[in-house]
Amino acid sequence: MKKTVCIALAMMMILSLSACGTDQQSAATEAAEAETAAAVTETAAAEAVQEAAQEGFQPSLDTSVSCHITVVGSYDNFEALETEFDRFNEYYPNVELVFTKVEDYNNMIGMVLNGNDAPDIYVNYSWMYGREVYQSSIDYAEDLTDPALGLDLDCIRSNIILKTTDGTLPMVPVFSTTNGMLVNNDLFEKEGLSVPTTYPELVAVCNEFREKGYENPMMGFSNEEITSLFTLTAYPYFCGTVANDAEAVQKLNAMDPSAGEYMRPTLEKIQQFLNDGCVNLEACAEIENNYDAVILRFFEGDVPMMICSGDAVSGTKKRESRSEAFIASPFAYSFVPVPMSDEGAYFLDIPNLQFSVNKESANLDMANEFMRFLITMPELNEMAQNKGLMSPTKDLSFNNMYAAFGEIPESRIVSPEEFGLIDDAVKQLRQAVYNVATGTMTIDEAVAGYGSFEQ
């Protein structure tokens, strides 16, 4: 639509030149024609990418070429990516693709990129952008918006694509994540209850489960602030309160002490959540960590709702066979938003893992060819499902685990990537929420402490 408007405006400029002088008319005509040609070229490139995506991947290089492509990141293993390597080898059988884990990745990536064995493709994170210590991870990244690369960026949800100040795209999401709760669908069906979609429904469902003999209708990890149940429920709600307030985001990012007031509605909501008895904190304190212990406690089968992160959800499939309770009595489960708002749940949409292409790669053409193969809806969905994470694509209906998030209206989808909340501001929120939830601070004290919490 935008390209069509540009072309139309350019043609109008040409037609309007009859009232101008000859020289001025000629110069303006040339400028308008150049703009028209550029718009047509860009439109044609976008259409070519769309057509290629519809037809399926078609190799653009010599399929007999031999080379070695290295991808580096911090995962212990990356079987889902290695499956994509195998699929790519169906087109390029002589290309060797290898994933390598780098220890202490965040601190070492700059050195790795500056070394003799620099990778062709590497994991990147949006929070590294704008931080001097991580500048190498941006400087070495190829601009993935270049139409010549042919990446189908339109298949990815635009709100999780990094918006840089210079208009380039140094990284592209290959996984996304969110916060929510694992739901034991069999228990809801057995008791004739519906999964809650608003905060009043959540409170009512917790009460109904409790009346039916379920001691802990809702649980979660509570022993530290980063991934505590308090943070996981508060963060989406908080983003919903500031996403459309540019002044609030600016003050929060600047660590302005007055910005603490923007946290007050969220802190009050967490206090209400606890006062309404949605969780038993003593029972939650028995959960030892936010991953294995959360999953295995949920698999005991007596917890209707377990608050957790998308990362924890990715580990559920592998742990089904490690739970004696689940083996004895398996049940259907899914992952849904925690409805902390009276109007409905927020979908906190954030990238989990992003790939960059090293523009200094000795095999740049093939690295880009692999990215062109990977950045499509079928391949990203396949890899996300294999990894157990949420896909970054616009279609979430293909995976029953995450399908509920695809039903959230656009007005309730919030992404820090889009409205610009930085990681330092999020850390302040986490600590304020944790202190209030655990009784270490009053709401007023937490509000007043904004900007002074340890980073």
Question: d(Cα 16, Cα 443) in Å, to the nearest integer?
Answer: 63
Judge whether 140 and 134 are in contact, CB under 8 Å: no
Question: Which regions in the chain score pLDDT beneath 70?
Answer: 1-55, 455
Q: How far apart are CA 165 and CA 175, in angstroms?
A: 23
The per-residue pLDDT for 383 is 96
pLDDT for 20: 40
How far apart (Å, rounded) are the C-alpha atoms in residues 384 and 392? 8
Q: Where in the chain is the domain with CATH 3.40.190.10?
A: 67-170+353-395, 179-346+408-448
Residue (of 391, 348, 393) closest to 158 by Cα position: 393
Q: What is the pTM of this model?
A: 0.83
Between 3.40.190.10, 3.30.70.20, 3.40.50.720, 3.30.930.10, what CATH number should domain 179-346+408-448 receive? 3.40.190.10
Residues forming a β-bridge with 121? 71, 357
What pLDDT, on a 0 to 100 scale, did the predictor assign at position 33? 55
The residues pairing with 146 across neighbouring beta strands, listed in sequence order, are: none
- pLDDT for position 342: 95
CA distances 151 to 115, 308, 330, 433, Å, are 28, 33, 41, 40
> Shortest CA distance to 269 belongs to which of 62, 432, 123?
432
| Nearest-angstrom CA–CA distance, 384 and 399 | 9
Q: Could you tell me the two tokens for 196?
A: 């809650």
| Predicted local confidence at residue 225, as pLDDT | 76
Radius of gyration of the chain (CA): 25
Per-residue pLDDT, 30:
55
Residue 130 has a pLDDT of: 85
End-to-end CA distance of the chain: 44
Cβ 173 vs Cβ 392: under 8 Å: yes
Residue type, 331: F
Nearest to 413 by CA among 426, 394, 431, 432: 394
Structure tokens at 23: 């020289």
Topology of domain 67-170+353-395, CATH:
D-Maltodextrin-Binding Protein; domain 2 (3.40.190)
